[in-house]
Amino acid sequence: MLDIKFIRENPDVVKENIKKKFQDAKLPLVDEVLVLDEQNRTAQTRANELRSARNSLSKQVGMLMGQAKKDPSKLAEAEAVKAQVKANADELAALEAQEVELAEKIRRILLTIPNIIDPSVPIGASDEFNVEVERFGEPVTPDFEVPYHTEIMETFNGIDMDSAGRVSGNGFYYLMGDIARLHSGILAYARDFMIEKGFIYCIPPFMIHGNVVEGVMSQTEMDAMMYKIEGEDLYLIGTSEHSMIGKFIDQIIPEQNLPQTLTSYSPCFRKEKGAHGIEERGVYRIHQFEKQEMVVVCKPEDSMAWYEKMWRFSVELFRSMDIPVRQLECCSGDLADLKVKSCDIEAWSPRQQKYFEVCSCSNLGDAQARRLKMRVKGEKGTYLPHTLNNTVVAPPRMLIAFLENNLQADGSVKIPAALRPYLGGMEVMLPKK
């Protein structure tokens, strides 16, 4: 969310940014919010004048009423001032109601206008214009056919989607045996990996209030992702970033406590509304999964350095499990409204002969901080921090990448050295059938 003062002083910049994000339908909102802002400031000025006059007029009434005891002619003058006080009070009440109404209209529009993207973001209307920046590891095409990931899991008696369909519907699964153990081992390894990087491990609430949802994401994202608890002001989180950033709502953080570097585990719940097409079968797009996340709250001048560190942590983690990856810079039209800059880390799929998304790293500037009223108290006063987040691992997709890249011709799956301590020293996972 942008500061109304910034929009007031830079309307053309805001409009140009909207055009870069290919959201031309929002262009009229800039002029609309400026008109509302002018009306609101006029109302505030008049209200302040009335509040200032209230005290002096009240004193004048008291003085005239005292004089009227000796000089009855003063009584009419006192009544006239009383009438003015009453008229001013009525006008002030109307203005205060108008201020509340205008402030809410302004807030709603500000929640819709996209954040200013970083100058380095490539311009494009959709993810087709995302730009590959760098590859890490050599993509390998084995000389044997790589089965679909659920078929690999089934050879280990490791997945049951039919039973999950009967119990919960489409988009759910049972993981079992060595596959379930691999899933948990990857999460535990990712947790310790981030702790070694200096991040504090956290398990957050898995449900959050509506004002926190509004603070961390756009309305479009919310409608597409969030499950609401019926009859409650509670939503199931789509990622632990939501509750981790929400942790700082209405808080003043001492500057010496920055940066806040947190890594969090949670289940995640997503509608996946409108997410159709690519890889709908299996566990690629699902309504429930588990995830290890990284979150940073830092000084504005440090956020781009943290952005660079964070996506490189993902690369290092995946490479330690022998998975080739690439960094893909997200273009302007592919950025959610709160994001300043974002990139995806994509893993190589030997079966599909292409890369697919496994991590998403984002710098949101001060947008979430402004929405959540997070502040930092420094030597020169208070200011808004920057917030960043990145996937460490989300095992359903990670499992796809892991199984395909570590599958052997005989159907076994080799376990990289980094992961063996989390699987009881297992070096090779052998199929059951």
> Does pLDDT of 224 surpass 70?
yes
The residue ranges of every structural domain in the chain are 4-110, 127-429
Tokens of 68: 């009227």
Tokens of 411: 């159907």
Dihedral, 321, 327, 332, 335 alpha carbons, nearest 10: 10
Q: Is 262 helix (H, G, I), strand (E, B) or coil?
A: strand
Specify the pLDDT at position 278. 40
Strand partners, 154: none
The DSSP code for 231 is T
DSSP β-ladder status, 386-393 and 354-363: antiparallel
- Which fold does the domain 4-110 belong to in CATH? Helix Hairpins (1.10.287)
Other CB atoms within 10 A of residue 384 CB: 18
Please give the full DSSP string across 355-421, using - where no structure is assigned: EEEEEEEEE-TTHHHHHHT-EEEETTEEEPPEEEEEEEE-HHHHHHHHHHHHB-TTS-EE--GGGGG
The Cα 399–Cα 396 span in angstroms is 5
Specify the pLDDT at position 388. 98
Please give the full DSSP string across 194-225, using - where no structure is assigned: HHHTTPEEE---SEE-HHHHHHHS-HHHHHHH
Residue 348 vs residue 220, higher pLDDT: 348
Rg (CA), the chain: 29
Tokens of 117: 């993207």
pLDDT digits (tens, 9 = 90+) for 90-143: 888 999 999 999 999 999 999 999 999 999 999 999 999 999 999 999 999 999
Strand partners, 416: none
Specify the pLDDT at position 75. 64
Binned at pLDDT 50, 70 and 90, residue 276 comes out as: very low
Binned at pLDDT 50, 70 and 90, residue 67 comes out as: low
Contact 361, 388 (CB under 8 A): yes
Q: What global pTM score does this model have?
A: 0.89
pLDDT digits (tens, 9 = 90+) for 388-401: 999 999 988 999 99
Contact 332, 131 (CB under 8 A): no
Q: Identify the architecture of domain 127-429 in CATH.
A: 2-Layer Sandwich (3.30)
Q: Is 160 helix (H, G, I), strand (E, B) or coil?
A: strand
Of all helices (H) and strands (E), which one includes residue 163? helix 161-167
Specify the pLDDT at position 194. 98
Residue 327 vs residue 50, higher pLDDT: 327
Specify the pLDDT at position 68. 59
Of 7, 260, 267, 225, the C-alpha closest to 111 is: 7
The DSSP code for 282 is T
> Does pLDDT of 65 surpass 70?
no
Q: Give the chain's length.
A: 433
Q: Considering only 83-87, 275-279, 338-342, 419-423, which range has the smallest mean pLDDT? A: 275-279
Mean pLDDT of the chain: 92
Q: Is 293 helix (H, G, I), strand (E, B) or coil?
A: strand
Q: What percent of the chain has pLDDT above 70?
A: 91
Half-sphere exposure of 389 (CA within 13 A, CB side): 21
- Mean pLDDT within 63-80: 61
The Cα 367–Cα 337 span in angstroms is 9
Contact 337, 223 (CB under 8 A): no
Report the interhelical angle of 177-196 vs 395-406 (nearest 10°). 110
Residues 6+ apart with CB under 8 A from 51: 92
Q: Considering only 19-23, 82-86, 216-220, which range has the smallest mean pLDDT? A: 82-86
Specify the pLDDT at position 221. 83
- Mean pLDDT within 264-278: 74
